Amino acid sequence: MTSFSPGAGRRVAPRSRLASDAAELDLSGTWRFLFSGRPDLAPADGAAVDLDDSGWDEIKVPSHWVLQGREEWGRPIYTNINYPFPVEPPFVPDENPTGDYRIAFDVPEERGERVLLRFDGVESLAIVTLNGTQVGVVRGSRLAQELDVTDEIRPGRNVLHVRVHQWSAATYLEDQDQWWLPGIFREVTLLFRPADGIEDVWLRADYDPATGQGVLLPELRAGASGYPITVSVPELGVETTFASPSEVAAIPVGEVAPWSADRPRRYEATVRNAAETRSLQIGFRRIEVVGHQWRVNGRKLRLRGVNRHEYDPDNGRVFDAVAVREQLLLMKRANINAIRTSHYPPHPTFFDLTDELGFWVIDECDLETHGFQRDGGWTENPTDDPRWREALLDRIERTVERDKNHPSIVSWSLGNEAGTGQNAAAMAAWVHRRDPERPVHYEPDYDGFYTDIVSRMYPPVEQMEDMAAGTGTHPHAVAGRNAELAKRPMILCEYEHAMGNGAGALAEYERVFDTLPQWHGGFIWEWRDHGLRTTTPEGTEFFGYGGDFGEEIHDGSFVCDGLLLSDGTPTPMLAEFAAVTTPVKVTIDGGSVTVENRRHDGDTTDLRFVWRDELDGRQIGTGELTVPAVAPGESITVSLPGFEPHDGELWRTVEAVTASDAEWAAAGHVVTRAQTQLAKAAPALSVPADDVTPVARDGAISFGPATFDAFSGDLVSIAGAEVKGPRLELWRAPTENDSLSSFASYVDVEAVASRGMGSKTPSSAELWRAAGLDRLHRRVQAVEVEPGRLVVRHRYAPSAAQEAVVVELIWTLRAGRLHLDASATPSRGWKGTWPRIGLHLELPAGLAEARWFGTGPDENYVDSHAAAHVGRFEAGVDELSVNYAVPQESGHRAGLRELHLPEIGLGITATPVAGELPGFSLRAHDAAEVTSAAHPHELPDSSATHLYLDVQQHGLGSRSCGPDVRPEYQLRPRAAAWSLTFDVR
């Protein structure tokens, strides 16, 4: 348990995962299981062959024992950076949950020359006993380990006992930001190895971009008596036999189609001898780092990536190939072309899928020691401690050896957030020797002393510009290193923290990636929220995060920061990502459109380019453009059809859609969209106010279809539907980017450089609360019935403050329709930012439907609106806000023209004031209710449907882990005005 060693016993040298025709026995299924809270309580005779285990529980293998709904087996734990126990390596607590697993299985008489027992994933330590003999100790939770059990296996019945401890010295190396989930969570397999079998194969498949020629560079591991060995690629007519190890040589294969993420061309290959046939799918490609260019097949790589953990809300890190395939297809639809396997090698089958479907992958070793950073000093960090050297080397060897044949892997990563030091350098040196082709990645090697790619997390774009220039303050790197680093390829291994609503400013990163030569793109943090499905004591289902399982210390909802919610529903940021990072850029410029192909490989003949014109949101023309094939790296400009002048708002949209059905998307899937406004709405003719004067009677004022409260001037009803307000709202339910602040300040480079996870300056939400924006008091200044109009003035201010905002509401009837001209004017003295400046109207509870003419379909904010376009949309009210793991601001859609609520027959038309239209959000809960709930199920029963009409909202930013809202997207205290007409139908 407390050994520094990488494992013990009959360990077999790491090797590739390859299909074979040799026999295997998958031991997945139901095993006997006995849980003990401490190792000393585990049965002393647990491994005895003749033990009667019929009284033990049962468990499915693979699985995690804390996800079986058995409270007495412990619960999942989420801590993030902290270790869940005192840090005193290599020791672990006495309370070390222990699972004893047993299975009996039959082995045939004919069982090969050697028998291996393979574990693909056990967290965190397995002591393996077969037929009463201890055969090995397996460490490295997400790494494969084979044990040679030839001497212990016997024909007929065998008894395997595996004792798993949740905590071990190895836990110190596996401190990733994710759930602690013990158990045998990947397959256990018996491999019957034939005499003279082919033990390992590495078929490097090189592609020369200059000539189009491929070469196979075989590396074969078999005994001398295992020869002759034949390498065959039928499709290329390759059938080459090597008579002995010394004859093994390169095999030129002639012209081949290369492998790329865009066109993942694979060839079936076999490597066989008299005893065994190994089969694999190969992809020809050449990876090079040439100066600051990281190239595949001669072209610079462009990574549009995500970080992906192994995760399922019910089964944790148990792999499900069908579900993962679906997720990869969803990534394809979202223009994602790269994956970093944060922060450990995934299930081996994962790479079969990325090879087949086409992704650039960074395969990351199972190593993180983040908890040693606590004091900022990395004291006792295993990465720099010779006692751990062997374990760290073993980890990278097992990573590289298992996965080395996969064309989709374009870089090896030593791990994540494990500090720097001699062991990391030794790991890199080992990789450089073993695989000189693929560059080594490891973000904490800030100075680039032993890795090939300059990698950073969450910098503001200004720092990226400085890095490319080789100047400026270069966070983390030693002074004088900047110019050297600027000669190398750069990536963001993590950026844009997709926690809750956000992150904003994706387009700014894209601009840097598109323009600065060192930058190759990055990987969003992260693909999916990791909430675990659970229930309240009353039985209400929800997705739990840190703290929901009784953890002693935890990091709350920080485990939910994905582009997808825990249940797999994409958040609007996935569409934003697709829109911003699209590899086919379409730009409309007056009468022409430019199509730029930024793909790595493949022209645009798989796409159709369709245009449509919409007048006031209604289609008046459509057609298809003839766009000649655009080669990668090229662009073409074609003209667009002319258009007739019209009365109204005229928009032209051009979409690049897929021309034919593919597994990842049906024909017609929109790869990218551009929109331009051809004609603006004519300025609204100012309809004169009707000559009707509001009537005050019995505490109420009636005015056309509306009734107002005579004291407050608030609306009470419109055409019989209950309406309350409007009230000024400056508060929004903080997003997690508003309420967390791991970066001190967007502009404070020094603070960013010394970034820890704690905050140095208060978050936006703290500042807003301190300013009292969540507790404005209102005083009615005036409710005046005048000829033809009702004038209402309200003053809003927090307690103890002199700052205030005065809202003036002028109600008139225009051609019988109720009309509001509203303005909000702040006093002097306001500081900082505001979350929003909006009017809040309470409408009847339970409204279900909305139709609007404005932007959509999804929520959009000032720093996140590339996916939004102008049009007519409809949606259920429950679809208008996103069910983020923590309830928060959601659902704002800028630029509202018309909103129609069919159930109460109410229409609201907004007219621009000084060029500004309000955005809207419509939700069953108000900002205060949303603020108070920590989980969606904690929201109270809805008492109204809340409509907010915001002239401006503060941007989103990425401050939960990254830069704050950029200055140009911040909402500074300001005046605002609304012009709204209410229609009753």
* Cβ–Cβ < 8 Å for 133, 391: no
Give the C-alpha separation, 83 to 116, whole Å: 34
The answer to whether 310 contacts ligand GAL (rule: CB under 6 A) is no
Shortest Cβ distance from residue 220 to ligand GAL (Å)? 38
Nearer to ligand GAL, 343 or 925 (CB): 343
Minimum gap (Å) between residue 581 Cβ and ligand GAL: 20
- State the DSSP string of 318-382: ---HHHHHHHHHHHHHTT--EEE-TTS---THHHHHHHHHT-EEEEE-S-B-GGGGTTSS-TT-G
Taking the complex as a whole, the smallest distance from the CB of residue 820 to ligand GAL amounts, in Å, to 44
With respect to ligand GAL, which residue has the nearer C-beta, 561 or 842?
561
Residue 962 C-beta: closest distance to ligand GAL, Å: 9
Please select the residue that binds ligand GAL; options are 117, 961, 965, 976, rule is CB under 6 A: 961
- Report how far residue 579's alpha carbon sits from residue 924's, in angstroms, rounded to the nearest whole number: 29
Could you tell me if residue 266 is left (phi over 0), alpha (psi between -120 and 50 degrees) or otherwise beta? beta
Residue with tokens 């001699």: 422
Find the helix or strand (DSSP H, E) in which 77 lies: strand 77-78
Compute the chain's Rg from CA coordinates. Answer: 32
Question: Per DSSP, what are the bridge partners of residue 495?
Answer: 524
Catalytic one of 146, 276, 310, 417: 417
d(CA 681, CA 902): 25
**496/696 Cα distance (integer angstroms):** 55
Distance CA(88)–CA(127), nearest Å, equals: 22
| 494 lies in the binding site for ligand GAL (CB under 6 A) | yes
User: By C-beta, is 204 or 340 nearer to ligand GAL?
Assistant: 340
Q: How far apart are CA 276 and CA 227, in angstroms?
A: 11
Determine which residue in the list 146, 561, 576, 714 makes contact with ligand GAL, applying CB under 6 A: 561
Asked if 29 and 63 touch (Cβ cutoff 8 Å), the reply is: no
Interface pick for ligand GAL out of 158, 416, 860, 888 (rule CB under 6 A): 416
Nearest to ligand GAL of 558, 920 (CB atom): 558
With respect to ligand GAL, which residue has the nearer C-beta, 287 or 361?
361
- If binding means CB under 6 A, how many residues of this protein chain bind ligand GAL? 11
| b/e 140-168 (16+ beta carbons within 10 angstroms → b) | bbbbbbbbbbbebbeeeebbbbbbbbbbb
| Closest distance of CB 729 from ligand GAL, Å | 30
Nearest-CB residue for ligand GAL: 177
- For residues 716 and 527, what is the distance between their CA atoms, to the nearest angstrom? 46
Decide: 959 and 741 in contact? Cβ < 8 Å.
yes
Query: Of all helices (H) and strands (E), which one includes residue 877?
Result: none
User: In the complex with ligand GAL, which residue's Cβ is closer, 342 or 423?
Assistant: 342
Nearest distance, CB of residue 956 and ligand GAL, angstroms? 16
Q: Does residue 373 belong to the site contacting ligand GAL (CB under 6 A)?
A: no
Minimal distance, residue 562 CB to ligand GAL, in Å: 10
Could you tell me the smallest distance in angstroms from the CB atom of residue 413 to ligand GAL? 11
| Contacts with ligand GAL, 213-232, as mask; x by CB under 6 A | --------------------
Q: How many CA atoms lie within 13 A of 331 on its CB side?
A: 31
Task: Classify each residue of 951-976 as buried b or exposed e, where b means 16 or more C-beta atoms within 10 Å of its C-beta.
Answer: bbbbbbbbbbbbbbbbeebbbebeeb
Identity of the residue, 868 or 961, whose beta carbon is nearer to ligand GAL in the bound complex? 961
Please, which of residues 520-549 interact with ligand GAL by CB under 6 A? Answer: 525
Task: Calculate helix-pair angle for 422-434, 389-403, nearest 10 degrees.
Answer: 30
Q: Helix count (H) and strand count (E) of the chain?
A: 12, 60
Query: Contacting ligand GAL (CB under 6 A), which of 123, 177, 199, 613?
Result: 177
In the complex with ligand GAL, the residue whose CB is nearer, 178 or 518, is 178
Residue 264 per-residue DSSP state: B
Which residue, 206 or 417, is less far from ligand GAL as judged by CB?
A: 417
Binding mask 430-459 for ligand GAL (x = CB under 6 A): ---------------------------x--
Residues belonging to the chain: 985
Catalytic residue among 443, 494, 496, 889: 494
**Catalytic residue check, 494:** yes
Nearest to 374 by CA among 670, 81, 724: 81
417 in active site: yes
Tell me how far, at minimum, the Cβ of 494 lies from ligand GAL, in Å. 5
User: Min. distance of Cβ 559 from ligand GAL in angstroms?
Assistant: 8
Count CB neighbours of 680 within 10 A.
11
Binding site for ligand GAL (CB under 6 A): 177, 343, 416-417, 457, 494, 497, 525, 558, 561, 961
List, by residue number, the catalytic residues.
417, 494
